[in-house]
Amino acid sequence: MNTDFPKAPLPLPRAEDVTEELAALEGPPVIPAGLRRTLFPVITKEDVFKMLLSTRVDPAKVVADFAEAYREYVGAAHALPTASGTSSLHLALVGAGVRPGDEVVVPAFTFIATAQAVVAAGAIPVFADIEPDTYCLDPAAAERAVTERTRAIMPVHVHGLPADLTALRAVADRHGLALVEDASHAHSATFDGRVAGSLGDAAGQSLMADKNFPVGGEGGIAFFATADAHARAVEYLERHGIDYGMSWIVAAFGASQLERLPYYDEIRARNAARLAEVLGETGLFSAPHVPEGRTHAYNMYRIGLHPDAVGLGDLPVHAVKEVVHELLVAEGVPAREWQNTPIPCHIPFRRREGFGGGYPFSLNPAAARDYAPEDFPVTLSMLSSTLVLCRELRSPVEYERLERYGHAFAKVARRPDAIRKLVGGREFPLPHAKAARLG
Amino acid sequence: MDHFDTAIALSRVLTSGVIMSIERNDRELPALERLLRKVSGRTQVVLVNSATAGLHSALAGLRLGHGDEVVAPALPDAHRRFLDWLGVRVREDGTPAFAYVSPTPADVDRLGPLLTTTAGAPAVVLDLTGLGFGPAAAVLFDDEDAWRRAERLKIFGTFDLRTMWTQAETDEGVGGVQFNYRLSPLVAACVRMALTTQGARA
């Protein structure tokens, strides 16, 4: 049987894990090879049972029931289930009134789907920098990007932390713009007690199976604050013959996962808090910042590096990051960069071919700008000085695995001497000087 | 396809734990691709999450986009509206640029012969939605470059998220709009079960 049941348990962590030689220098890795796989999503007998029951139900009802249950959980007024997060963002923009040739302000740091959804809507993404502490769209930068042709601002609750929606709503209101959330990382995340996806004029959200709230493979959902916005999106699909429909199989899995989402959220929050404690003691690393009044969903966990705190302040931070990244991976921690280039500098936004012949950029040439990485200094600084964990905090990450992750960070932070030695004599191109990475 | 077959396919994939299209260990999407190559005799298959995604991918494969004209085969009215949304003008005269096949469950026994009628078409959009597992389609090519462009359209230009996450300046087909048209392995498993249990094996 092809099963995801673990083949062997991970041994309990030991205090000496932290003091042994680095794995990159021939010491024992904190997490042994063969025991590094992180399973996600958690698939249980309840998922199988519900899936089998759904085969006897009208497919349209399976999808509609799922969408209604999740809409109620989020607290949004209206919902439209879709085949992907990208399509949900496309429809959120359409519902919010975005039309061909309009400009939509988006952050320079996000997954590329945010900006491609704007292009799908026939609009032009206009990029603004992020805040240095939350990595979400900077309201002041967003306001500077507003022109007479701007129709909407689309902040991204990046990694699962809601953007500053109070400030962004104020910007939107001052200029008569729609506020559209990209909540693709932010399932169950809250801002002033309200769940992400329910706060904007519209919202799009990925539900693909690598997100904290997974459906059965690929899926998404758009939320709308008004019946008019919802109707606009539905009519758009019909008028243009676009099939963005969600499969009933995908929805059935989401329906059973939704019942356990609060449990998984609690495990993830607990793991994030525990790891923050450990990182806080290392000096070299810091946990994500969460402003008061917001809860972070930790779809990803972006860790800051502070070389000066361990006597490495004279070295380029991106070089320290690259070496630390190698050391962590050698210890068995699957840390990632998760992007290395501002999105406006990715090929589709440099070439701007769009649907062909430059459409829709050709509708609004003034908005179709040539951006340079240096236009986004906060994004560049973040890309140079942070590393990311993705699935590593999610249930079913066992306590012993989480502790071992902590041990690996502590072990690496104890060795500034090794980091300095490994940095020495090597060339380290800036992250954005390499081929653009999507994830 | 009866409910038992569906239940077996779904339980098998759920037990494997691999339900994401970008999972390196996914076996369902490659297995459906293999089956469709065998049934159609085509060398290249792109799996997508709807018939309209299939139309878009076929056009991308054929280098047709906004502002271009295409001789399209007989299509449902909604699909015509979709081509219009893409900015592709449809002409009635001439040889169609691609074929369109939309089998129902009653057709799976004769899918091979149905696809034989598309021989010579540079691309075939095979709408699998009618099999009953939700929106699904495949685009069939014999041209590897066409396949690559279509594959890139569906996964943000990355060609193969399972192994490669970077975009390079030299990659063709990464300069324009990109979508997530990826098909779920659970859906692919059911489609394959439907095709294999009812005889479309050759």
Please report the pLDDT score of residue B161 as a whole number: 57
Please report the pLDDT score of residue B202 as a whole number: 40
Chain B residues whose CB is inside 8 A of the A248 CB are 133-134
Percent of chain A having pLDDT more than 90?
93
Please report the pLDDT score of residue A392 as a whole number: 84
Model confidence pLDDT, tens digit, residues A343-356: 999 999 999 999 99
Percent of chain B having pLDDT more than 70?
92
* Cβ under 8 Å to B: A residues 346-365: 346-348, 350-357, 359
Chain A residues whose CB is inside 8 A of the B7 CB are 52, 55
What are the CA-CA distances from residue B31 to residues A41, A215, B35, B186 (Å)?
Answer: 22, 22, 6, 12
Q: How far is CA B13 from the centre of its chain?
A: 20
What are the CA-CA distances from residue A334 to residues A32, A324, A351, A387 (Å)?
Answer: 12, 12, 33, 10
Please report the pLDDT score of residue B3 as a whole number: 83
Model confidence pLDDT, tens digit, residues A101-128: 999 999 999 999 999 999 999 999 999 9
Tell the residue number behind the tokens 């306590």, with chain if given.
Answer: A399
Question: Which DSSP category does B137 fall into?
Answer: E
Rg (CA), chain A: 22
Among A3, A219, A240, the residue with its CB nearest the CB of B85 is A240
**Domain boundaries in chain B?**
3-197
Does any domain span residue A143? yes
Asked if B167 and A347 come within 8 Å (Cβ–Cβ), the reply is yes
Does any domain span residue A190? yes
ipTM: 0.96
Does position A439 have pLDDT exceeding 60, yes or no?
yes
B3-197 classified as CATH 3.40.640.10: yes
Instruction: With cut-offs at 50, 70 and 90, classify the pLDDT of residue A437.
Output: confident
Which residue has better confidence, A393 or A231? A231
Amino acid at A209: A
Whether a cis peptide bond, with omega within 30° of 0, leads into A360 is yes
Does position B201 have pLDDT exceeding 50, yes or no?
no
Alpha-carbon distance of A280 to A10, in angstroms, equals 25
Does any domain span residue A182? yes
Does any domain span residue A425? no
What is the nearest CA distance from B179 to chain A, expressed in angstroms? 7
CATH code, domain carrying A198:
3.40.640.10
Asked if B177 and A436 come within 8 Å (Cβ–Cβ), the reply is no
**Which residue in A174, A59, A53, A185 sits closest to A105, CA to CA?**
A174
Asked if A354 and B176 come within 8 Å (Cβ–Cβ), the reply is yes
A194 φ/ψ angles, rounded to the nearest 5 degrees? -105, 145
Please report the pLDDT score of residue B121 as a whole number: 96
Whether the CB of A274 is below 8 Å from some CB of chain B: the reply is no
Q: Which of A62, A218, A246 to mutate to test the interface with B (most CBs of B within 10 A)?
A: A218
Supply the range of the domain harboring residue A161: 45-255
Asked if A355 and B87 come within 8 Å (Cβ–Cβ), the reply is yes
Chain B residues whose CB is inside 8 A of the A249 CB are 10, 133-134, 184, 186-187, 190
Chain A residues whose CB is inside 8 A of the B134 CB are 59, 245-250
Q: Which of B3, B4, B8, B19 to mutate to test the interface with A (most CBs of A within 10 A)?
A: B19
Please report the pLDDT score of residue A399 as a whole number: 86
Percent of chain A having pLDDT more than 70?
100
* Cβ under 8 Å to B: A residues 14-43: 39, 41, 43
Among B14, B68, B178, the residue with its CB nearest the CB of A348 is B178
Please report the pLDDT score of residue A286 as a whole number: 98
Which residue has better confidence, B66 or A37? B66
Chain A residues whose CB is inside 8 A of the B190 CB are 249
A1-5, A21-25, A210-214, B57-61: lowest mean pLDDT where? Answer: A1-5
Chain A residues whose CB is inside 8 A of the B158 CB are 438
Among A250, A348, A438, the residue with its CB nearest the CB of B176 is A348
Amino acid at B181: Y
Chain B residues whose CB is inside 8 A of the A119 CB are 177
Q: Which of A5, A248, A249 to mutate to test the interface with B (most CBs of B within 10 A)?
A: A249
Chain A residues whose CB is inside 8 A of the B178 CB are 112, 116, 348
Does position A425 have pLDDT exceeding 90, yes or no?
no
Does any domain span residue A233? yes
Among B6, B158, B171, the residue with its CB nearest the CB of A55 is B6
CA angle B49, B54, B59 (to 5 degrees): 145
Sign, CA dihedral B103-B109-B111-B116, equals negative
Whether the CB of A103 is below 8 Å from some CB of chain B: the reply is no
* Secondary structure (DSSP) of A372-411: -GGG-HHHHHHHHHEEEESGGGSTT--HHHHHHHHHHHHH
Does position B23 have pLDDT exceeding 90, yes or no?
no
Model confidence pLDDT, tens digit, residues A282-323: 999 999 999 999 999 999 999 999 999 999 999 999 999 999
Chain A residues whose CB is inside 8 A of the B187 CB are 217, 247, 249-250
Exposure string for B120-157, b = 16+ CB within 10 A, e = fewer: ebbbbbbbbbebbbbbbbbbbbbbeebbbbbbbbbbbb
Please report the pLDDT score of residue A204 as a whole number: 98
Asked if A240 and B158 come within 8 Å (Cβ–Cβ), the reply is no
* Ordered alpha helix ranges (H), B17-143: 28-40, 51-61, 77-85, 111-116
Could you give the count of Cα atoms lying within 13 Å of B85 in the half-sphere of its Cβ? Answer: 22
Q: Which residues sit opposite A137 in a β-bridge?
A: A130
Instruction: With cut-offs at 50, 70 and 90, classify the pLDDT of residue B199.
Output: low
Asked if A347 and B51 come within 8 Å (Cβ–Cβ), the reply is no
Asked if A84 and B182 come within 8 Å (Cβ–Cβ), the reply is yes
Structural domain count, chain A? 1
Which residue has better confidence, B109 or A29? A29
Among B16, B51, B186, the residue with its CB nearest the CB of A216 is B186
In A, minimum Cα distance to B2 occurs at A55
Asked if B79 and A217 come within 8 Å (Cβ–Cβ), the reply is no
